Structure 1
Amino acid sequence: MAALKDEVKLYVVTALACFDSPTQVSVAVKEEFGLDVSRQQVSCYDPNTYVGRNLSQKWRTIFEETRAKFRATAEEIPIASKAFRLRGLARLAQKAENMRNLPLVASLYEQAAKEVGDIYVNKGKAEPSDQLPTPVQIIIGVKDGARKNDDPA
């Protein structure tokens, strides 16, 4: 393993703290710094892995602070916004319509309806309700397919 400069180590630690995979980080280091770093070497900078258990306190602190900040600012990521997702779905639906791909258009409309209807959001109330649920009676019967009339025998 080649020794990495602090600048590259910082890049690796912060990328891992933001939940990038070691493979993604390895490719990003190649693009950003022109260095070939194996994913195994990158894994050594994640204190949550077995190979990263001996990571120095300096890098461990940076990792933990970056991860906490990343989790706290998730709402700033555009795709976490409902409006952003709906605009993207609208663009995709328009392109699909222009291509006359009607099944895709229908599925995109369904996806948008689910998004607007908050199907992906848990809005359950924690406090108990004062009203009791209305009892429902369900009657199950067997119908003979060979008979023409609907009268039970």
Structure 2
Amino acid sequence: MTDFRIGFGYDVHQLKENVDFWLGGIKIPHHSGAVGHSDADVLIHVICDALLGAANLRDIGYHFSDQDPQYKGIDSKLLLKEVLVLLEKSGYVLGNLDATICLQQPKINPHIPAMKACLAEVMQVAEGQISIKATTTETLGFVGRQEGVSAYCVALIQRKNLPNS
């Protein structure tokens, strides 16, 4: 079995006025927010998918169906904690992750330190293991028209040092 594995996550959420905007576990002040079955935190969703994919554990929708009422409006940080339990049970820990948020407005760079601090606490890892970047699409496409937000993430996981291994 390999000691290192890489996973990839991608997600999109529609933006709607007068909805709270949760991103990276924090509430971003803005007139629009992402909509979804949960709190629609697109960054946490791609992190979950990247980690699950790296461990060959399918995807976030498989584990937390949007058809299941128990996940309606759920804080995505709780989903991330559950993903980390699954990762741990599979014998892996996070090496690092690198994520990019695609959003025209609001500007995300000022919020990245708070997102990293929040995610590091939830994941019980060092902030240095989490890279978050932000970009626009230069007004092109659904992101550029401010109709939605998308995010990408790659994660490196490594096998834990187990006794007698």
- Determine which structure has the larger helix proportion and give its number: 1
Question: Which of 1 and 2 has greater Rg?
Answer: 1
| TM superposition score normalised by structure 1 | 0.25
- Determine which structure has the larger strand proportion and give its number: 2
